[in-house]
Structure 1
């Protein structure tokens, strides 16, 4: 395949077999892979590792500082190279915010089909990532590039946090309220984009949602009433909520009617604009989810819809809810909403 000519529009998504966080290995397959991984000595300074499938690793440097380290990368979810770079960078940085930390530096991970993509296109992807890092106040201090069959872009991100203020995904308590920071539906919109069914307003909503940095995470780490924190990405709302439930040994109870959705998502999902990852997600963890009789197949799919650069998911004490919602509102997250609660019971999720 030769490089595209000027009169043939380039579709970045045509190079990728799956876009955004929908590229993740299915949760059931990933669990099987990790189950076969050998153990290794864990130093006492490693405060957060792989044991609870948390958002990032955390390593204690001293009594006042701990280092947060994470990485995330994927194939294009949109055709505009600049937007692709922005989305990928926002998604990668989110893991630091989801631990309650402050990002300090990033390294770029770039894999591109050099013989198929114009260098200008590759440059715009990198520029998009740089623009988001600038918004987060961090430099891209280096990175690594390879010649790849599919376009891949992402970041290694490092951050800092006080050891006593780390917000893990495993520390929710019975009675905690669940708050979601961003509306769901990115996977549906990306599927609609690939099918040519996404209008300009829908595309604008998707870009706004996926390029909004989860900055409230840092302020949430200061609140004693916030007990657990994560972000919703490729495994969908149910998958990441299950991680909270399993870590705490509690049941997460969701109210379907309270979950915010991006504009037009319900209608597009009913038209069949769904991702393959949504079904793989359900196959991987559906056995730990109890759905009320009134939950429709479309609603089930929305709950497993892979979210690229999705919102923060907070478990907090009831008397902290108003403060958390006000914090989200101040940072421009107008759709943040209470979507359920944690309760005693078998570790899993129930939806009514």
Structure 2
């Protein structure tokens, strides 16, 4: 970590630089703490990009709660005797670059020698306790808007099978390395009623969490769901990650798929996402305005559903 830097936060009282046993961070008055943790095995071949994706995914939960990430702890498992240490340095540099973009300080971490490389972060953020976004709160008659396209799990499966084309890989990497910071900054100016990020449970699973917590039914128009380049084609080849099958089995009792929905779309909405977009609800009269503000930041948000 000696050559890796992230922003120095004025609220950081003690960091890792002098070998202290823990980090000490001052919590601003009137703020609540948001805590989350995620880690992965590599989903792409490039270690720097792997670090970027992992960091973007880790801070996403903070944004989804309406908070601002502040500091993070690295979590590393690496086969130090069998892989060059430069690979680990690239992973950590990728993570640090993305955290710098998010304004997040690395305050320490922990590493172990392990046969399978893994990288992740425990991220802490602050949020106004009166403005926490939750799964609960979505109301009948509201719109559901998604800020990123789906299909990253299918693309990474195609990458592992050496069947993914460059256009699909590049699009998936762009999606997975994009922070949800910009989307959160737009949404904090509007009365959003619930919010989550689409990750391991896929669109179906995370939508069910909202529907269950809020006591509503959610409907999606499959024609409006944005999809990463190549994902539908690779799904038609059967390049479906195991997590999609687990999601379908786990949530099947609460899902009804229309007969006109193609099997590839069925696969994509169950596909576990890495660093997916925000899914949020709002009153219909706000939808076009919010999407317009997202467009100004280069975010291709789309209305994909509604509630009853």
Native 8 Å contact 1:167 1:221 kept in 2: no
Q: Counterpart of 1:220?
A: 187
Write out per-residue CA displacement over residues 69-88 of structure 1, whole angstroms, 9 at most, x where no aligned residue. 11111111011100100000
Q: Could you tell me how far 1:100 is from its partner in structure 2?
A: 1.1
CA 1:158 to 1:109, structure 2 compared with 1: closer, same or farther past 3 Å? same
Aligned match of 1:250: 216
Distance verdict in 2 for CA 1:63–1:317, change over 3 Å: farther
Q: Deviations over 1:51-79 (max 9, x none)?
A: xxxxxxxxxx7872111111111111011
Q: Select the residue among 121, 134, 146 that pairs with 1:180.
A: 146
Task: Report runs of 4+ in structure 1 exceeding 4 Å deviation.
Answer: none
In the superposition, the TM-score normalised over structure 2's length comes to: 0.88
The answer to whether structure 1 residue 285 and structure 2 residue 251 are counterparts is yes
Q: How far does residue 176 in structure 1 lie from its aligned partner after superposition?
A: 1.0
Aligned counterpart for 2:33 among listed residues 46, 61, 67? 67
CA distance in 1, matches of 2:163, 2:99: 31
Deviations 1:14-58 (A, max 9, x none): xxxxxxxxxxxxxxxxxxxxxxxxxxxxxxxxxxxxxxxxxxxxx
Shift of 1:208: 0.4
Task: Report the count of equivalent residues.
Answer: 281
| Unpaired segments ≥5 residues, structure 1 | 1-60, 344-352
Deviations 1:147-198 (A, max 9, x none): 1231111111111111111111111010110000000010111111111111
Matches within 5 A, 1:1-352: 64-215=30-181, 216-224=183-191, 226-334=192-300, 336-343=301-308
Question: Which residue in 2 is equivalent to 1:30?
Answer: none
Q: Judge conservation of contact 2:144–2:305 (CA < 8 Å) in 1.
A: yes
Q: Distance in 2 between matches of 1:271 and 1:290?
A: 24
The answer to whether the Cα contact below 8 Å between 1:63 and 1:163 also exists between their aligned partners in 2 is no
Tell me, in whole angstroms, the C-alpha distance in 1 between the residues paired with 2:296 and 2:206. 25
Call closer, same or farther: CA 1:242–1:198 in 2, change over 3 Å.
Answer: same
Contact 1:166-1:221 at 8 Å conserved across structures: no
Distance 1:166 1:323 in 2: 22
TM-score (norm 1): 0.78
**Is the CA contact 2:31–2:128 (under 8 Å) kept in the aligned structure 1?**
yes
- Aligned 8 A contact 2:172 2:229 in 1: no
Q: Distance in 1 between matches of 2:302 and 2:277?
A: 11
Q: Distance in 2 between matches of 1:263 and 1:204?
A: 9
Structure 2, unaligned stretches of length 5 or more? 1-26
Asked if 1 retains the 8 angstrom alpha-carbon contact of 2:71 and 2:107, the reply is yes
Write the distance in 1 (CA, Å) between the matches of 2:252 and 2:306: 19
Q: Calculate the aligned-residue CA RMSD, in Å.
A: 1.3
The farther-off stretch of 161-170 and 227-236 is 161-170
Q: Which whole-Å CA distance do the structure 2 matches of 1:327 and 1:283 have between them?
A: 37
SS of the counterpart of 2:199?
coil
What's the offset of the Cα at 1:330?
A: 2.3
Paired residue secondary structure (1:165): coil
Deviations 1:76-105 (A, max 9, x none): 101110010000000000011101111111
